[in-house]
Structure 1
């Protein structure tokens, strides 16, 4: 399988038809009830030939061979139009009227099937959150923005450095894949850092798929995936500015602009800057409540217009960040010292990704991405230096064959990881052995449309990992839609896998030289998932809308790789979990809009996530049984004012204690973060917004950091095995530990912002 990617790619190219172009053309006009529509996408699906309408709503498709084809017209904010046509077209010039969407069900999505389809037509449940959703609670990063998405929770893992991950349905961050424009950009070492610095003014929407998606996306898509879709350059505003500041001294600014290079290249550029340099210690533990950060991110995307409307996009991003947290009197001169404790993290990251449609008759796309991540960090005295590079390439071929919509693909992923810890060295640290993993794979997907109401999606993927060997991932999805399209039912089952990076990222635990020990041949982590989903749209005679989206989910997780730091203080012991983990539950989303200007988007998830080993079942750490989110808005249309009230609520979670004598509560309390915002529009270009975050002023207990007064453990005594001894000065046998964390330490604060948009 070493050459699976190249071999399968050659097979795909060999199967292409090479028939010459016939000089037939198709012309027409796209409009809505108000007039012509510019930038509508017109596509001949079987051939991948398409174009975009001009300012008069006109389009022209050339080089069409005689035959029967499916013409598809799509534009964000409108229902997708589809009809069968014959070429040559016997009638007059086409005139097509698009209907505006009355809900989000017909929005175009790509994450479920790796093809652009309406959300209604997708056999895979996909939740879509538009840019306007995130404006109701502006935040300096996507990591924080996701706090109001049902079943998705940003989890802070450290009270000092404030790093974290994204949980989906209770499964931890390493099992959530993060994509940008469909490419696996954010993973491994950069799971949290990659979600910062994306200019939010350039984001079109975010798509969320819950449950395994490894059949299409491979490793890490075990719990689900989050796909960040950036705006198309030709549709983006000419200039967009969004900047705000908070009462804590945080300043965040986004700048985006569109340009055109020559006749055929559209450009979208963006800059994000975040600055916070104000140490605050409201809980009185001597440590910063919020990590100080200085971050700059540059984003650039090109879209090249090609003949027959073929796709060619190229994008890149660069992020540089300097963050630190620790004792409030820490300065740069204390970095790496043993007198004043601080966690200082310097991050430099680059990304490149794009899509190129091959110049052939068939619809074949080559997608590619690469990223590099360098980290230079000190955790007190512990130095951590890491370097990671990931390269990815994927070739897909979409083929319509009667009732079948076929997707063939091949992919290759290369991962390089190196650090300065014993995890990537041997022989007493005298030799360095970076991790290099090759992961070629092939996949096939067939969507069978039995009738307008019934369809079935079947997929199968085979990957060959250079360390673990072959991995097979199947999935099956069924969809039924009512005749009036007001009800959609989906049933799905699938398999996910993750090849864990045993060269641990838990670098703060490596406080001394440790030997890496494998007690067995490690197998990839795997999960099996079943999901039932029901969507119902309801309308009133007054034109009000109510949407319900409910799901029942069950995920069975095996082969979990757990590093053991406790059995022997001189070793890191790796082994597959001798047991299983289960995530099961139900969720419900409510979307309601009234003509009066009142709207509600709310959701709730009830789940049970547990871990079983040796006949003993325990709740997974830092996982709630119940969560709820809401976004409630009202528009005072005559005044140009919008009021938004957002929030979330979580039930108690089991927290990590340091031993039987640890007197901190084992479970968190019920807690909620709530926010309110008022936005005033001045014409179509200007907006001023402001409000209050964390209205209830909720913060975790002040003793969340164990022994905050002794961060270097000078007053801690250990036995010969490395275990903490209870002493009169340390009766609870604690060490300095910042991992007892379930909620942000930031209390109530005001914020004020300004937006400017020039179309």
Structure 2
């Protein structure tokens, strides 16, 4: 690993030899013009020069200007969300200014939008060898998603769930597989650590995200381990124009819920601004987010079902162009969060009957250098990292022994080259990903064992800090992918080789492995509006404890801890996917329909063996390999109908089966907490220029859920129940008011109108906190305001 780290560092240092800080010579070759659509000027469209880092954005009147362009023949590209891009070729000479006008055609189905996740390369959605679903700020607005977790239910094959009554630990399941099977990326980099991921999806504010790209299955060949089910790539906002936006909102969680405690207040505020220099060489985006949510008690037993939450996020993104073909981008953000569940929220943690309390300090930074070669070849060198410092308390019955501290660091060093040829593309690179984690129990004054010495003085012993986990993981990867176009057929062949080591410093154990993950995809354009795709990919998960095992289920009767079996082996997957993607304008209506089948065979899949409680009520869940494997298969469907620019309908549905090949706990083959069907829809209607209405829905089918409640004859043995189905319906109203060069938006709405919410929560100090399922929130009313020049 040291050699691979040195190799990556040496490549990163090579960047210095390519960076020229000298000022470019002024050519006085300029371009100016406007962008229109349907006869009207289109504000804030993006104008870029292909094969360079040069770009700008049209102003609010739809006009643009770029000065001192390189001389010669240049391809000028105009693009905007909801419109097809347009490219014109212009010849530039020294001292000449050219006027260029763009007339963009609507692309309401998003088939021409640029995506990067499918192939680690910028491509139009229809050209990508894999299906890429995009969640945009428009969807965040339609669904009133203030954090990432609230929006992920609105993509095919994805389902968000809450796994703990006490602290609100959430995870996203993709194609029927639990959270650790999906790779969460930030700007295409795998630095979203397992420690951050335990609560991180609820911590990432939507206002810092430009879009979310979702690739189901097949990502492992390019992104490494934990991409068996797919990848979720968070693309942060770029400074492309001078803009600003501020919003503030208030929500009331649990309004009018029978048998519940008082509704919980939920206050949010966010801001975004970006500035770009007059020459377009430097830009800065700054964003901030604040949230304060009170706890909610669904069954009025004084113990919360939804935890309290205070979140403050600040961040920025900076870019600078050294030349027309080189650029550096810097990202930084910090999240500070406090959350707590249980009872007696106004008391210190160890005075409560149950308390699960977390204080997070998450700092993320990244630097990327891009250099163009030849006409459009792009070389990128990047380094990024995420540091997590977490203070925790998982305790019950006034225990002093359950305070802890966890520190984690994840970093990535890598280099990638994208080569473009006449009818083919080649991507290759290398990456070193390192993770460290140290989890410890903090010492305390043991008052219960106090003694009196010979002089009559009270002596209170002090316990020492105890190391629970001290782990280190290093992965060095080499990846490549070659794509060839044969008329209507596109063939993409790729592979990634990973050498990983997982070291447990506390126990002296070390696991190593070499993994080759191939990937093959085929795309065939049956018609211009109909595409067929098929793919095979191999993936893996290494035996480690960097995920939800760092969450501890706590009650007055039992505490659940996780550990790996001594002979736990690497898990391997074989994934097959096939899809048909239809997008066409029929009359005046745009229609899109996607049907996608998936089949994943898991060899040596991870499964839990439930242990028996010891004298202190501690239960060990041991991760083992299921000897006969598992199969996850199903069908994702998505539709998109846009009859006019005032009305859009979007929805998706998944039918699936997730089973071990031999019975596991409680004699069941089905994966727990995995419904066989689930889906969503979102409708947005804008009857007038300033008034808009949206309605959304999420359906969750029945599923098996484990239960270890004290009401059972043998709580330690537990049982399982078949849950009800749920339908979460929401509505939102918004109204825009013109304010000179900006707009003021007023909005109000309700989520889960019919309160389709779990009604059989366990209660009291000895409740089973893992017995929670269904929608994330009960009936919730909200309202707020936004102001900005991009609304």
Q: When the two structures are superposed, what TM-score results if normalisation uses the length of structure 2?
A: 0.81
Q: Quick check: 1:9–1:410 contact (8 Å CA) kept in 2?
A: no
**For residues 789 and 561 of structure 2, what CA distance do their matches in structure 1 show?**
57
**For residues 656 and 101 of structure 2, what CA distance do their matches in structure 1 show?**
46
1:695 aligned partner: 753
Q: Quick check: 1:30–1:36 contact (8 Å CA) kept in 2?
A: no
Q: Equivalent of 1:587, from 625, 636, 659? A: 636
2:447 aligned partner: none
**For residues 595 and 669 of structure 2, what CA distance do their matches in structure 1 show?**
27
Aligned residue for 1:105, secondary structure, equals coil
The yes-or-no answer on 1:553 pairing with 2:598 is: yes
Deviations 1:356-406 (A, max 9, x none): 114866521112210111221112233332111101112001112332211
Q: How does 1:553-702 map to 2 (within 5 A)?
A: 553-562=598-607, 564-566=609-611, 573-595=622-644, 597-613=646-662, 618-637=669-688, 640-658=690-708, 666-683=721-738, 685-702=743-760
Give unpaired runs (5+ residues) of structure 1: 423-427, 712-735
The yes-or-no answer on 1:469 pairing with 2:518 is: no
Q: CA deviation at 1:737?
A: 1.7
Q: How does 1:286-301 map to 2 (within 5 A)?
A: 286-301=302-317
Higher mean C-alpha deviation, range 193-202 or range 291-300? 193-202
1:752 aligned partner: 783
**For residues 212 and 747 of structure 2, what CA distance do their matches in structure 1 show?**
23
Q: Quick check: 1:386–1:417 contact (8 Å CA) kept in 2?
A: yes
Higher mean C-alpha deviation, range 566-575 or range 7-16? 7-16
Q: CA deviation at 1:574?
A: 4.8
**For residues 356 and 88 of structure 2, what CA distance do their matches in structure 1 show?**
60
Q: Equivalent of 2:538, from 480, 495, 503? A: 495
**For residues 297 and 439 of structure 2, what CA distance do their matches in structure 1 show?**
33
The yes-or-no answer on 1:152 pairing with 2:158 is: yes
1:284 aligned partner: 300
1:723 aligned partner: none
Q: Quick check: 1:468–1:524 contact (8 Å CA) kept in 2?
A: no
Aligned residue for 1:154, secondary structure, equals strand
Q: How does 1:505-516 map to 2 (within 5 A)?
A: 505-508=549-552
Higher mean C-alpha deviation, range 193-202 or range 591-600? 193-202
Closer, same or farther: CA 70–461 of 1 in aligned 2, 3 Å: farther
Closer, same or farther: CA 641–430 of 1 in aligned 2, 3 Å: closer
Q: CA deviation at 1:99?
A: 2.6
The yes-or-no answer on 1:356 pairing with 2:411 is: no
Q: Equivalent of 2:48, from 29, 42, 49? A: 42
Closer, same or farther: CA 342–98 of 1 in aligned 2, 3 Å: same
The yes-or-no answer on 1:391 pairing with 2:446 is: no
**For residues 141 and 789 of structure 2, what CA distance do their matches in structure 1 show?**
17
**For residues 392 and 432 of structure 2, what CA distance do their matches in structure 1 show?**
31
Q: CA deviation at 1:172?
A: 0.2
Q: Quick check: 2:656–2:676 contact (8 Å CA) kept in 1?
A: yes
Aligned residue for 2:127, secondary structure, equals coil
The yes-or-no answer on 1:535 pairing with 2:548 is: no
Deviations 1:499-527 (A, max 9, x none): 2423672452697899967432x432221
Deviations 1:13-35 (A, max 9, x none): 999999x9999998756654456
Deviations 1:458-490 (A, max 9, x none): 11111110232211111111112255x311221
**For residues 140 and 298 of structure 1, what CA distance do their matches in structure 2 show?**
15
2:355 aligned partner: 342
1:322 aligned partner: 338
Q: CA deviation at 1:686?
A: 1.0
Q: CA deviation at 1:272?
A: 0.7
Q: Quick check: 1:606–1:626 contact (8 Å CA) kept in 2?
A: yes
**For residues 543 and 185 of structure 2, what CA distance do their matches in structure 1 show?**
18
Aligned residue for 2:111, secondary structure, equals helix
Q: CA deviation at 1:2?
A: 4.8
1:265 aligned partner: 282
Q: Quick check: 1:24–1:87 contact (8 Å CA) kept in 2?
A: no
Q: Quick check: 1:314–1:355 contact (8 Å CA) kept in 2?
A: yes
Deviations 1:537-566 (A, max 9, x none): 23233x221111111111112223345451
**For residues 76 and 116 of structure 2, what CA distance do their matches in structure 1 show?**
19
**For residues 15 and 187 of structure 1, what CA distance do their matches in structure 2 show?**
27
Q: Equivalent of 1:371, from 386, 405, 421? A: 386
Q: CA deviation at 1:624?
A: 0.6
Aligned residue for 1:238, secondary structure, equals strand
Higher mean C-alpha deviation, range 32-41 or range 575-584? 32-41
Q: CA deviation at 1:85?
A: 9.1
Q: CA deviation at 1:273?
A: 0.7
2:522 aligned partner: 478
Q: Equivalent of 2:493, from 444, 452, 458? A: 458
Closer, same or farther: CA 38–348 of 1 in aligned 2, 3 Å: closer
Q: Quick check: 1:291–1:324 contact (8 Å CA) kept in 2?
A: yes
Q: CA deviation at 1:108?
A: 0.7
Q: Quick check: 1:499–1:525 contact (8 Å CA) kept in 2?
A: yes
Closer, same or farther: CA 16–256 of 1 in aligned 2, 3 Å: closer
Higher mean C-alpha deviation, range 238-247 or range 295-304? 238-247
Closer, same or farther: CA 404–566 of 1 in aligned 2, 3 Å: same
Q: Quick check: 1:216–1:443 contact (8 Å CA) kept in 2?
A: yes
Aligned residue for 2:195, secondary structure, equals helix
The yes-or-no answer on 1:303 pairing with 2:353 is: no
Higher mean C-alpha deviation, range 312-321 or range 94-103? 94-103
Q: Quick check: 1:31–1:37 contact (8 Å CA) kept in 2?
A: no
Q: Equivalent of 1:449, from 479, 485, 490? A: 485
1:167 aligned partner: 173
Higher mean C-alpha deviation, range 295-304 or range 650-659? 650-659
Closer, same or farther: CA 523–243 of 1 in aligned 2, 3 Å: same
**For residues 255 and 92 of structure 1, what CA distance do their matches in structure 2 show?**
37
Q: CA deviation at 1:696?
A: 1.0
Closer, same or farther: CA 280–364 of 1 in aligned 2, 3 Å: closer
Deviations 1:178-218 (A, max 9, x none): 12222223230111432234342332211111113111111
Q: How does 1:71-90 map to 2 (within 5 A)?
A: 74-81=79-86
Deviations 1:602-651 (A, max 9, x none): 1111000112237976110000101120111221115x221111011111
Aligned-residue CA RMSD (Å): 3.6
**For residues 450 and 17 of structure 1, what CA distance do their matches in structure 2 show?**
38
Closer, same or farther: CA 501–43 of 1 in aligned 2, 3 Å: farther
Q: CA deviation at 1:688?
A: 0.7
Q: Equivalent of 1:235, from 233, 241, 256? A: 241
**For residues 521 and 479 of structure 2, what CA distance do their matches in structure 1 show?**
16
Q: CA deviation at 1:92?
A: 11
**For residues 365 and 429 of structure 2, what CA distance do their matches in structure 1 show?**
21
Aligned residue for 2:200, secondary structure, equals helix
Deviations 1:97-126 (A, max 9, x none): 353332211111111111111111111110
Closer, same or farther: CA 101–369 of 1 in aligned 2, 3 Å: farther
**For residues 80 and 209 of structure 2, what CA distance do their matches in structure 1 show?**
16
Query: Matched residue pairs, number?
Result: 712
Q: CA deviation at 1:51?
A: 4.1
Q: CA deviation at 1:348?
A: 1.3
Q: Quick check: 1:253–1:273 contact (8 Å CA) kept in 2?
A: yes
2:570 aligned partner: 524
Q: Equivalent of 1:742, from 773, 780, 783? A: 773
Aligned residue for 1:144, secondary structure, equals helix
Deviations 1:648-668 (A, max 9, x none): 111101001338856986110
